[in-house]
Structure 1
């Protein structure tokens, strides 16, 4: 079949290409038309308000002014709520006004809400009102603060000094508040808390972002648990003793914890160099604050010029970032890792295993946490602080009494705050030194056993060699947490935590070499706190049990003998007698889990040391019991001998010769008994020593390294393939006596 003939189009249809002139987009016309519309709307509203009565009432409410501002912002291309159509806002505003105009109360409520909205819209959309507002605020209220564009910034804030049950400092180096986005940003957060005489917790975060009524986003959190006199920063601060409260000023200086922080800081890097401080303060020395009015007296001043203010603000923020301990640790780790990589790489250029991988953020965070472990708990301590105890006394007595009678207001305030502010952590890494772990094991595990047993001494040396030169870090991956604060007192406060990844590391000196010893598939936890522990909720506090209540519980326990209810009842009875409440904790680890072989060997050594120490402990207890038995037997024999001698003297007073003979026989009989007793003692000693040696041999045979390693290996292999969760649930006791002392007897208006 022939292909169809191709036909050319008729000559009439053929046209020469026409050169089109460039089309000019009528942008100016549209902009002109857009700017005419708001002015026409304003002119029509003005004429109507002057000629009629109801448009005047409409104009006084602020609805047409708000619409005009939005139309003008749309014309200039910079409007608030750009994702909402303009005519939708116009219809909504006027519909709400139509409803509120039917009542004089609703009308004035609408008026009170509309005019502040107009002010905010003007500040957001137009440069002239914003510049005027910034210039005015700099000269009046915010004279010592930073006001840049739509942001208000605070620097050199006084620390919050915790002087309640624990001692500590909470420092925020800078705060920025954005008015347009309602976002609060905290820069350089540092906290040091003394938990006991030789235990301290140090926390550092570079940035925390709080979009108000949306969420809270926390950057990488680094926490270090420090123990021993060689690690703590607040070692000289008296723990559990309140400081003298003779200073009525809000801002205090030269307190014990501030002195301890500044002394520890002198040995480290200076976070506020002299040149930077001189530039930021225009050559003037910051003044110390003495009361609430001068709380921010040393806040750095800036020029009213916009460019100068912005430059100073950026310089201050960059200074906080550059002097951060976390940033400096990352820089030093990168340098050390690169140098070690160049030195340890072989001829083929392959890096040895165990070195820090800078591309792996999980390893880098663990290395950073251990790197800053040896630094002071507060790297940048301020010179002033505000005590928590002072803040408690600032409320006026009548106001405090009124709020105490309305605990429902607290719940009504905290419920939406908890609902609209779920907290998201980028990561949380906690570290502790192996040297402190070794000291704890010597104090509570090995004790004096290592001096009397060579096997325990060998195990202690083996465990110490793996721990003493290293630090251990636990890293929790991205964490999502939320809290439920109920309005009703029938429910408890619950906090939910969900961790997508859980890892544990062992790092060597300088944190350049590290090993991941544990990794889990994730974890979750639920923390339940009784609502009556919240302040001003004494009316729902559990009453102290009476003797009749205790007797009833004891009767119920006796009736439930032999059942699980008996054990539960006894536990509840003990809590009632001690006047305790409990905070419930439920945690689950998600499987599968991976373990490093070095960790398994360490666990095997710990298990073996525990078994050997238990055998030594049993031998010591048996020895003590035998000594007590011998002492009691000797005392009984002496009493019997004395009684026999007394009776013999009374019955044989007439025959002196016989008495002398009997006395000699008694002495020889006693010496014979002593020899027999000493022989039995020596035999018992030899028997106990032989039994101890046999027990050691049995323990060594049952708890040798291979057997323990094989047992631990079987368990870990099953965990590496298992699916599901491994959970723990327990209660933390909370004594109620100190809370009952602070109770107030005022009646509640809204419980």
Structure 2
């Protein structure tokens, strides 16, 4: 990308450069001399060509047709650029360009259609060549563009810059904002630079993902370079920014929605999150407007109709551009975190254990420091909704493109091939307070009120987690995706991380400990091609009841074999109407672990064992109660049946005598059953209490700290010396019901 701070200077025509003469014995004389710079030629050749062309047009008839096509004008511009020492395609000899252009004209002149196609292509190429090679046309074009089309943009040298862009609002099933604070496009190098990229995505009601990076450089059709990425996973009401935004359903849309929205729920939530943290102008405006959000003018063009915009000069435009880029850099949360950490390290009153020279540790500390910042630190005032983009598509064009899925594959396949993505680093962090809340909710539950050992383990785990943030850092990451043109293949994404580290950070004390380090990692994601939009024609057909029945019978025939297990898994997927995304991830050994992490793992293992024992005891107690209730009901029914039989057998005897004997026998039998039940209950309680005590004693004897520490130590010692990979491979289920609803019935032209 061309550097705007030091634009290329062009030497005056006619001047020559002398090579420096190496002194005897100089070190430069013994090494290979670099290739000499291209010397400037005279303007005699382009001027002679121009004169000959003009004379030929006045004397002959055919050069007029040649001039109208634009071929001699393009050749003259290239020859003149060569004379000034700055032309397009400098690696191609000028006479090769001259011969090629005129040869193409000769072939095109044989047909009127080819002639006009050549002319339509030749004149724009001539204009681009003049803008690139000469200062005067470039300056004139920039001044005209600033006054007409690019009033709100910045056109500096060969770069077009955009600032204050509206955010992309994701208002589908997942809520979020994607913000790019500035974009610079270099026309000469075809390089796109995004400044200040921020993204906030609400994954569930209480989980949120915030991503920030300072710069993304995309050399078009070459590759993508992404600066350090800092991601924070936030959970709980005290951390999320979009807590008030409804999740799980698309935003209601109306027919009068404008293309650019200015007052949406997610924009309001992002603006409220800035109160008290970032520029005080937000809180000041709220105080001056009685806590009411001010509304913008309905017609912004009429509001500024009387204001005259002065087109800045080249130097003023360049200065303004630099100020805007510098402002984006200075107000970035990443820059503020770096500044705060350096000040904390330099503070003599604080005992800091952070090494600023170690960039790995420094990045982890930055990610932990910005965890408490809003998910979108710089929300814009306006946004463009994804639902609006879908709605504004022309229906006829959309229907036509829907019938040509081959064009989508033909476009995405080279884009993926020519744009491998390289990340400088990826660091993700989460708060220990949120981890503790999750463990209390899903692991410890109510067991802490029943067992003192579990309470002790919970306090031990909480003390290590609650005050810290945990960060996982991936070293330089290389990613590439392959999008197949042939639908018989699947979409694949490959990721390779050269280094993997995990940290425990205390932001206030500026303390950082590396608890895990691996030799690297890699991952492969395989996504079925039919999940891509407009590919309904290759969707797998939904299995019928008869097909499922046949498959179930076939599984019974091969029962007890490994194939039966695989077939049963496929049967469950077909029964649920699911597809799968295959994920394969591997961690490269050896691995290093800190002792604090080993102690934490030992405490988790012991807590799991004790909770498992308590859970087994509770399940046994519930089963015993159910058996006791069922036994009592059965005993009552047996007593009633016995009483009825005795009454029937003694019906012909004396009424008073028979009644007394029946009552006595009934009472005796019930007393007997009651004693049996009471004895069984007492015996069961004593037995279960004894089993409970024995189980607790067994767990305490087996799962003590020393035994677990010894076991964990043995495993980690093997991992620290082992070579190879440890990985996971599995399928992520994807329900197909919602994708089948979106199917469109148009037939395909190019499937």
Counterparts of 2:98 and 2:280 in 1: how far apart (Å)?
53
Which of 619, 622, 628 is the aligned partner of 1:621?
619
Aligned residues of 1:583 and 1:731 also touching (Cα < 8 A)? yes
Aligned residues of 2:221 and 2:418 also touching (Cα < 8 A)? yes
- What is the DSSP-based 3-state SS (H/G/I as helix, E as strand, rest coil) of the residue aligned with 1:543? coil
Deviations 1:474-513 (A, max 9, x none): 1111111111111111111111111111111110133710
Farther off after superposition, 141-150 or 548-557: 548-557
Alignment of 1:60-71 (within 5 A): 60-71=68-79
Q: Please name the residue that 1:667 is paired with.
A: 667
Alignment of 1:145-224 (within 5 A): 145-224=153-232
Q: Please name the residue that 1:117 is paired with.
A: 125
Q: Please name the residue that 1:347 is paired with.
A: none
Alignment of 1:631-670 (within 5 A): 631-653=629-651, 654-655=653-654, 656-670=656-670
Farther off after superposition, 666-675 or 691-700: 666-675
Q: Please name the residue that 2:16 is paired with.
A: 27
Counterparts of 1:236 and 1:141 in 2: how far apart (Å)?
40
Counterparts of 2:541 and 2:594 in 1: how far apart (Å)?
51
Q: Please name the residue that 1:715 is paired with.
A: 715
Counterparts of 2:320 and 2:298 in 1: how far apart (Å)?
23
Aligned residues of 1:146 and 1:301 also touching (Cα < 8 A)? no
Q: Please name the residue that 1:426 is paired with.
A: 424
- What is the DSSP-based 3-state SS (H/G/I as helix, E as strand, rest coil) of the residue aligned with 1:205? strand
- What is the DSSP-based 3-state SS (H/G/I as helix, E as strand, rest coil) of the residue aligned with 1:481? strand
Using the TM superposition, give the Cα deviation of residue 66 of structure 1 relative to its aligned residue in structure 2, in angstroms: 2.2
Q: Please name the residue that 1:700 is paired with.
A: 700
Counterparts of 1:44 and 1:287 in 2: how far apart (Å)?
63
Counterparts of 2:195 and 2:329 in 1: how far apart (Å)?
8
- What is the DSSP-based 3-state SS (H/G/I as helix, E as strand, rest coil) of the residue aligned with 2:731? strand
Counterparts of 2:479 and 2:578 in 1: how far apart (Å)?
28
Residue 94 to residue 714, structure 1, CA distance change in 2 (3 Å): farther
Alignment of 1:422-501 (within 5 A): 422-501=420-499
Aligned residues of 1:252 and 1:290 also touching (Cα < 8 A)? no
Using the TM superposition, give the Cα deviation of residue 666 of structure 1 relative to its aligned residue in structure 2, in angstroms: 2.9
Q: Please name the residue that 1:510 is paired with.
A: 508
Residue 53 to residue 719, structure 1, CA distance change in 2 (3 Å): farther
Which of 32, 48, 56 is the aligned partner of 2:56?
48
Counterparts of 1:518 and 1:154 in 2: how far apart (Å)?
42
- What is the DSSP-based 3-state SS (H/G/I as helix, E as strand, rest coil) of the residue aligned with 2:439? helix
Aligned residues of 2:147 and 2:311 also touching (Cα < 8 A)? no
Using the TM superposition, give the Cα deviation of residue 667 of structure 1 relative to its aligned residue in structure 2, in angstroms: 1.6
Which of 525, 528, 534 is the aligned partner of 1:527?
525
Counterparts of 1:34 and 1:531 in 2: how far apart (Å)?
59
Using the TM superposition, give the Cα deviation of residue 615 of structure 1 relative to its aligned residue in structure 2, in angstroms: 1.1
Counterparts of 2:441 and 2:463 in 1: how far apart (Å)?
17
Aligned residues of 1:590 and 1:725 also touching (Cα < 8 A)? yes
Q: Please name the residue that 2:321 is paired with.
A: 313
- What is the DSSP-based 3-state SS (H/G/I as helix, E as strand, rest coil) of the residue aligned with 1:373? helix
Residue 270 to residue 224, structure 1, CA distance change in 2 (3 Å): same
Aligned residues of 1:368 and 1:511 also touching (Cα < 8 A)? no
Using the TM superposition, give the Cα deviation of residue 290 of structure 1 relative to its aligned residue in structure 2, in angstroms: 7.2
Aligned residues of 1:251 and 1:289 also touching (Cα < 8 A)? no
Residue 138 to residue 253, structure 1, CA distance change in 2 (3 Å): same
- What is the DSSP-based 3-state SS (H/G/I as helix, E as strand, rest coil) of the residue aligned with 1:27? coil
Using the TM superposition, give the Cα deviation of residue 94 of structure 1 relative to its aligned residue in structure 2, in angstroms: 3.9
Counterparts of 2:509 and 2:494 in 1: how far apart (Å)?
33
Q: Please name the residue that 2:21 is paired with.
A: none
Counterparts of 1:105 and 1:704 in 2: how far apart (Å)?
89
- What is the DSSP-based 3-state SS (H/G/I as helix, E as strand, rest coil) of the residue aligned with 1:729? strand
Counterparts of 1:361 and 1:289 in 2: how far apart (Å)?
49
- Whether 2:259 is the aligned partner of 1:250: answer yes
Deviations 1:46-90 (A, max 9, x none): 333444455444444333322221221122122223333333433
Structure 2: unaligned runs, 5 residues or longer: 1-13, 19-37, 285-293
Alignment of 1:313-462 (within 5 A): 313-339=321-347, 344=351, 355-462=353-460
Q: Please name the residue that 1:12 is paired with.
A: none
Aligned residues of 1:500 and 1:521 also touching (Cα < 8 A)? yes
- Whether 2:691 is the aligned partner of 1:691: answer yes
Q: Please name the residue that 2:678 is paired with.
A: 678
Aligned residues of 1:419 and 1:483 also touching (Cα < 8 A)? yes
TM (norm. structure 1) is 0.89
Q: Please name the residue that 2:140 is paired with.
A: 132
Which of 581, 584, 592 is the aligned partner of 2:579?
581
Aligned residues of 2:416 and 2:483 also touching (Cα < 8 A)? yes
Deviations 1:393-423 (A, max 9, x none): 1111111111111111111111111111111
Counterparts of 2:675 and 2:368 in 1: how far apart (Å)?
65
- What is the DSSP-based 3-state SS (H/G/I as helix, E as strand, rest coil) of the residue aligned with 1:204? strand
Using the TM superposition, give the Cα deviation of residue 304 of structure 1 relative to its aligned residue in structure 2, in angstroms: 2.5
Counterparts of 1:710 and 1:179 in 2: how far apart (Å)?
63
Deviations 1:662-691 (A, max 9, x none): 422432442243233223322221221111
TM (norm. structure 2) is 0.89
Using the TM superposition, give the Cα deviation of residue 141 of structure 1 relative to its aligned residue in structure 2, in angstroms: 1.1
Counterparts of 1:286 and 1:682 in 2: how far apart (Å)?
75
Aligned residues of 2:493 and 2:525 also touching (Cα < 8 A)? yes
- What is the DSSP-based 3-state SS (H/G/I as helix, E as strand, rest coil) of the residue aligned with 1:253? coil
Counterparts of 1:32 and 1:572 in 2: how far apart (Å)?
72
Using the TM superposition, give the Cα deviation of residue 715 of structure 1 relative to its aligned residue in structure 2, in angstroms: 1.4
Counterparts of 2:213 and 2:650 in 1: how far apart (Å)?
95
Using the TM superposition, give the Cα deviation of residue 592 of structure 1 relative to its aligned residue in structure 2, in angstroms: 1.1
Residue 162 to residue 670, structure 1, CA distance change in 2 (3 Å): same
